[in-house]
Structure 1
Amino acid sequence: MKKIKTPISDEEISELQIGDKILLSGVMYTGRDAALPQLVELIKKGKTPINTNGIAIMHTAVSDAGIAPTTSNKEEIESTIPFLSENGVKIHIGKGMLNDETKKALNKNNSIFVITPPVAALLTNNVLEKECVAFENEGIEALYKLKVENIPGIVAIAHGKSI
């Protein structure tokens, strides 16, 4: 297992390969169908509520029941990955297959896609703090900032290759 701490540098991303098992610690943001398109629009307007450089975003909602990844190839989610990668997001965490265009964008921007087990209880135990940072009106699908320790994952797409 490779221990990764956010924010992550380009050099650290370059060292990760498909199939690598990781444990992610530090700050991780969450977003899915409702929040990610809104985040993209704010960044385009220069009004981003977060610094996206070197961050990880998990495609999940946040509730009292916990966190667990949603399918990342939903149009509202996958369509944001290229733009967010271009704007500094280094790790996208979710589940499912991504299309070739998204894989190329990840490669071009030295970003990766990590899959994590959809086991809410395990992942939730690794969340130390949570704070809603934008789109509170979206409820559990708002943009959250989480402080996490040892979120497990497997690098599924990196450097133009996928498992």
Structure 2
Amino acid sequence: MSCVDTFMRKIKSLTYAVAAVSLGIVLCLMTLRILSRNLGLELAGLQLYAQAVGVWMVFIVAGALGLENRHIKVDYFTDRFPEPVQTYHNIIAGLLNTAMCLVIVGGSLLAIREFWTGTSPSVNIPLPVYYVPAIIGLTILSIVYIRRTVTGIQSLSS
């Protein structure tokens, strides 16, 4: 197993752990919100905190799901292509997916720079908190797509 594979396996475990903790936090926050509403207590911002944590839960695992080939994909037609066409299609799709991941990561970095000192209204969550999980998850996903694309290109030459 290469160093990259070992690193990616460790990152995958870490991202799943962060997502599991995030899910637990969302569950606690939403339970507290429901209880507070039913008891007539008004605990402001619980749903907004849960949404911020939910963003982490969703984006942080994007790369891990891609690594395990469990991300959402529509391959009904591509699986029916003949082998050489399928390989070329996978290479092109890998390049396009990598490009889109990099566009989103770049946009997130620009947004962090732009909104570095900004906070969300009413609960003062720092705005960069919303962009960091997209940067992490989609950077990992980009690495996955790059590795698959390189593997596809290498399979053409062999």
Question: Could you tell me the TM-score, scaled by structure 2's length?
Answer: 0.24
Larger Rg over CA atoms: 2
Point out the structure with the larger strand share: 1
Question: Could you tell me the TM-score, scaled by structure 1's length?
Answer: 0.24
- More relative contact order, 1 or 2 (CA 8 Å, 6+ apart): 1
